Amino acid sequence: MSVLTDLIYGGSHAVAGLTEGAVNDAIAKYGADQEIAFPDTAYFFPTIYAATGVKVKTLGDLTACVGVLKSLITDQEDLGQALNAGLATAVGAEILEGLKYVNGAEPYANDSGIGFVPDPIIRSLGVPLVTGDIPGVAVVLGKAAAAEDVAKVVKDYQSKGIMTFLVGDVIEQCAEGGVKMGLEMRVVPLGHDVTSVIHVVTVAIRAALIFGNVQPGDLAGLLDYTKNRVPAFVNTFGEIDAVVVSAGAGAIALGFPVVVDIDLGENQVPGALESVCDHAETVKKSLELRGIKIKSKELPIPVAFAAAFEGEIIRKADMKVEFWSGKNPTAELVLMKDLSEVEDHKITIEGSDIDCGEKDFALATYVKVAGKKMQADFESVIERKIHAWFNYMEGVMHTGQRNQIRIRVSNAAYDAGLRLKHFGEVLYHMIMDEFDAVVDKCEVTLITDKAATQKFLDEVAMPRYNARDDRLASMTDEAVDQFYTCILCQSFAPAHCCVVTPERLGLCGAVSWLDAKATNELNPNGPCQPIPKDGLIDERTGRYEAVNRIVEEATHGAVSSVTLYSILEDPMTSCGCFECICGIEPASNGFIVVNREYKGMTPAGMTFGELASCTGGGVQTPGYMGHGRHFISSKKFIYAEGGIERIVWMPKELKDDVADKLNATAKELYGIDNFTDFVADETICTEVDDLMNFLTEKNHPVLAMEPLM
Ligand code: SF4
Ligand code: ZN
C-alpha cells in the first residue's frame, strides 16, 4: 500500500473507532431516544442526509450511520476507494461534532470558533458567491511554523474577497497577526478540533440541497455539485497526521483540492493534493488549482480596498472624523450630465479636508457622469454603489444613502494618509470600471463647507431625489413594455430564473427592475435579458406567453409555465437566497411571511429554515415562494389570491420594517387603516389556534374572503 492510502485508511479507522465509541457512550448516558440536532438547520446531519437520505433525529439513528461509515472503509489500494474512506471520516467528524450539541449544549459558546454554520448564513452567501463578489472559499487548517506566514496568506485571501474558514491553532495565529475576523470580514474561525472542519464541508453540502435541488441520497449528484459549483479548496499548515490526511481525502472526494506546506514528494496527486512549501506561493497555487480568477483593483489610495472590509465597524474611540446627517447636512448624488458639462477625472474638494483639525463634517458627494448610452434611470443604480465602495476602503465605515448617511474614518486610515481626494479617486475608478459601458466621463466634487452642502442638498439633491421617487411610484408593471430575467443564481441553482418587474424585485432583494435594466445595458449578453410584454394569457395571475417562452429558454426547459402574481398557480421558482418566504396557512385561508433572520416558530408549524427547505433549488412549489422584503408591500404581492389582505402573520421585526409601505398599500387598495394591526406576530402567537382567535378578535379581512382551495 502507498504511504498516502496507508495514512488515509489509518485516519479513517481512527475516526471510525472514536465515532463508534462516542455514539455508544452518548446512548448509554442519554438513551437512544434522546433527540439530537445541529442548531438552526432544516437538513438534519447534512452530510449524512445529503449522502444517504437518512434524517438523523435521535442518538439511536446514529448507530446505523456508524455502520454505513465503517462500510465505506474498504482498505483497498485503489485511490477512489481511499477517497471513500475520506468521506467516512467526514461522516465521523459530523457525528462527533453533532454529539457536542446533545441535550441543548452550546459547545462553541466559549470557543473562538463558531462551530456549526446555520442555514440562514448560507442563504445570505448565495448572491455574493454568484456575482463573484466572493470568488472562492478557503479552508485553512493546522498550525503554521511561523504565525506571520499564515496571517499573511489569510490577509491575502481577505483582500481578494475569498471567504476563509479557519480550523485549529491558525485561529490564534491569525488573531496575533492582526487578521480582522468575523463573517462580515470574510474570515470565519470554526473551531480547534480537526473535526470542526466538517462545519465548512456542510456549508458546501447544504448549498447543493438549498440551491442545487440535489436530492438527499443522490451521492453522485452531490459530489458533482460540490466539485463543479462550490469553488472551495484547502490549505494545511504544519505537520499532518493520519486524521488530517483522511479528512483531506474527504475534501478531495468533494472536489476540493488540498495544498499542504510539507513535501509529500511522490505522494502528491496532481490537481488534488499538492505540496507548496514556500508560503509566498500558497495563495497563487491554490487559486490556480481551483481555477479562481481575481479581478485585481489597484487604486491610488493609501489603504487597502476590498469587499472583505465592507463589514468593518469603526468605534468612536478609533474614529478620526465623522460625516453624519444627524449632526450636519449630507448628500450623495449621482447626476447625468451632457458630455460637455463633465471634466473627466476632475476631483474637487470644496471646503476643508479632514486634516483641518475638526472632527465633525458636512459632506455632499456629488458625482457627475456623462456618456452616450447613459440614462437618467441608471443614476440611482450607480449612486447605491457608493455605499459599498466607500466601505471597501479599510478604515472607512459607511451607512445609509442619499441625505441620510454616516461615514467614519479610522485613526489608522487617517495616519496612513487617507484624505478626501481618495474618496473621489475610489468613486472615479470604480464607476469607470463597473459602468464603463454607459459612463464615458466622470467628475467628482466633495463639499464639506456646511453652508454650501446645505445649499447643494436643498437646491440640487432633494429635488432630484423627489423626482426619482415620483418616477418610481409611477413605474408600474402596466407602465413599462418589458420585464427582465435574472439568471445570476443559475451558477448555484441551475433551473432557476427570476422574472423581475417594476413591482416585483428579484427574490434576493438585490435586483430591482432598474438594476436589471442597467445590467442588461452594461452587459447585453449577461444574466438579465429583456422579456417583451407580449401574449397576455391571464391578467389575474400575470401569465404571458413571452414570459413562459423566455423562462423556458433561460431554464433550459426546466420551467415552461410561470406566473408573475400567483403563489398557487405556477409560481416563480426560488433559488434559495430569498430574503423572505411566503407560505400558505390553511386554517385561516391566509399566508404567513417569514424573513430569513427570524429564528423562532411560526403558526405553520415550521421555522423559516423548515419552510425554506420546502422550496428552492429552482423548483416551483405551489403554496410557497421566496421573495424580497420590498415585494410585501407591492400591489402585485400574491395578487391572484387576493393580495396583501391574505397576510395573517409576520415576525415583528419584519412587520415593523415594512409597516409604513404595507399600510399605505392596504389603504389604497382596500381602504383599510393600519392594516398591520390585523397581522399577528410572534409576540402575539405562534400557534394556529391562537392565531385564529386573534384574527377573529380583530375581524381580519381574510375571514370574509373566499377559501383558497
Ligand atoms: Fe439570483 Fe434572482 Fe437575485 Fe438574480 S434576482 S441574483 S437570479 S435571486
Ligand atoms: Zn438566488
Q: What is the DSSP string of 428-490?
A: HHHHHHHSTTT-SEEEEEEE--HHHHHHHIIIIIHHHHHHHHHHHHH--TTT-SEEEEE-GGG
**Which pLDDT score, from 0 to 100, does residue 1 have?**
57
For residue 293, with 0-12 CB atoms within 10 Å meaning exposed, 13-18 middle and 19 or more buried, which class applies?
Answer: exposed
Coil, strand or helix: which one is 138?
Answer: strand
pLDDT of residue 606 exceeding 80, the answer is yes
Q: Is the CB of 147 under 6 A from ligand 1?
A: no
| Spatial distance between the Cα atoms of 30 and 700, rounded to a whole number of angstroms | 46
Q: What is the mean pLDDT of the chain?
A: 94
Distance 511 CA to ligand 1 centre (A): 7
pLDDT band at 121 (very low <50, low <70, confident <90, very high): very high
| Atom 5 of ligand 1, residue of closest alpha carbon | 506
**Which pLDDT score, from 0 to 100, does residue 307 have?**
85
| Atom 8 of ligand 1, residue of closest alpha carbon | 508
| Spatial distance between the Cα atoms of 454 and 368, rounded to a whole number of angstroms | 18
Long-range contacts of range 632-635, CB-CB < 8 Å, 24 or more positions apart? Answer: 632/580, 632/593, 632/658, 632/662, 633/658, 633/661, 633/662, 633/664, 633/665, 634/503, 634/504, 634/665, 635/476, 635/503, 635/665, 635/668, 635/669
Q: Is the CB of 505 under 6 A from ligand 1?
A: no
pLDDT tens digits for range 406-417: 999 999 999 999
| Spatial distance between the Cα atoms of 48 and 209, rounded to a whole number of angstroms | 12
- Does the pTM surpass 0.85? The reply is no
**Which pLDDT score, from 0 to 100, does residue 576 have?**
86
For the CA of 575, the nearest atom of ligand 1:
8
Ligand 1 pocket mutation pick from 517, 562, 575, 615 by most atoms within 8 angstroms of CB: 575
Q: Is the CB of 498 under 6 A from ligand 1?
A: yes
**Which pLDDT score, from 0 to 100, does residue 491 have?**
80
For residue 338, with 0-12 CB atoms within 10 Å meaning exposed, 13-18 middle and 19 or more buried, which class applies?
Answer: exposed
Cα dihedral angle (153, 155, 158, 164), rounded to 10 degrees?
50
What's the Cα-to-Cα distance from 88 to each of 8, 225, 253, 279, 493, rounded to whole Å?
Answer: 10, 19, 11, 30, 27
Tell me, what DSSP letter sits at residue 112? S
Distance 625 CA to ligand 2 centre (A): 13
Report which of residues 113 and 306 the model is more confident about.
Answer: 113
Distance 327 CA to ligand 2 centre (A): 38
Ligand 1 pocket mutation pick from 488, 517, 519, 574 by most atoms within 8 angstroms of CB: 488
For the CA of 505, the nearest atom of ligand 1:
5
pLDDT of residue 21 exceeding 80, the answer is yes
Q: Is the CB of 499 under 6 A from ligand 1?
A: no
Q: Is the CB of 430 under 6 A from ligand 1?
A: no
Tell me, what DSSP letter sits at residue 118? P
pLDDT tens digits for range 550-603: 999 999 999 999 999 999 999 999 988 899 999 999 999 999 999 998 999 999
pLDDT tens digits for range 652-702: 999 999 999 999 999 999 999 999 999 999 999 999 999 999 999 999 999
pLDDT of residue 193 exceeding 90, the answer is yes
Ligand 1 pocket mutation pick from 125, 486, 630 by most atoms within 8 angstroms of CB: 486
| Spatial distance between the Cα atoms of 137 and 161, rounded to a whole number of angstroms | 9
Percent of the chain scored above 90 by pLDDT? 87
pLDDT of residue 23 exceeding 80, the answer is yes
The CA radius of gyration of the chain, in Å to the nearest whole number, is 27
Q: Tell me the three cell numbers of residue 630.
A: 420590498
What kind and span of H or E run contains 260? strand 258-260
Q: Which residues pair with residue 442 across a beta bridge?
A: 369
Distance 497 CA to ligand 1 centre (A): 7
Block residue for cell numbers 433572520? 597
Distance 575 CA to ligand 1 centre (A): 8
| Atom 3 of ligand 1, residue of closest alpha carbon | 508
What kind and span of H or E run contains 88? helix 79-99
240-259: average pLDDT: 95
CB 235 within 8 A of CB 229: no
| Spatial distance between the Cα atoms of 448 and 26, rounded to a whole number of angstroms | 65
